[in-house]
Amino acid sequence: GENVEQHPSTLSVQEGDSAVIKCTYSDSASNYFPWYKQELGKGPQLIIDIRSNVGEKKDQRIAVTLNKTAKHFSLHITETQPEDSAVYFCAASRGGGADGLTFGKGTHLIIQP
């Protein structure tokens, strides 16, 4: 089955700086890669997703890049703000099927004022 590795487990950045979180996946058939933000006591909230036919996608301060050959994808957050502090999860799936999302173990992002 699919295996998703996520790094780092904790990331502390100064407010206004950029943050990058990286994930690798093992199943070459995976073609859907979402990123979720989870705040304390809440369920995961989708912040951006990308499909394997696209190399990069951007939404305001958030961008995701995908390298299918190397089987890795990254989340980039620019101009970080205190409200960006949360746990971020990457995930992968074959898309359109019934095997669910495989998640990484999460990155605790801390924005220092």
Q: What is the binding site for another protein (CB under 8 A)?
A: 1, 4, 6, 32, 34, 36, 41-46, 49, 89, 91, 93, 95-106
Q: Which of 20, 8, 9 is nearest to 80 (CA)?
A: 20
Q: What is residue 3's three-state secondary structure?
A: coil
61 or 105: whose CB is closer to another protein?
Answer: 105
78 or 110: whose CB is closer to another protein?
Answer: 110
19 or 92: whose CB is closer to another protein?
Answer: 92
The Cα 38–Cα 45 span in angstroms is: 6
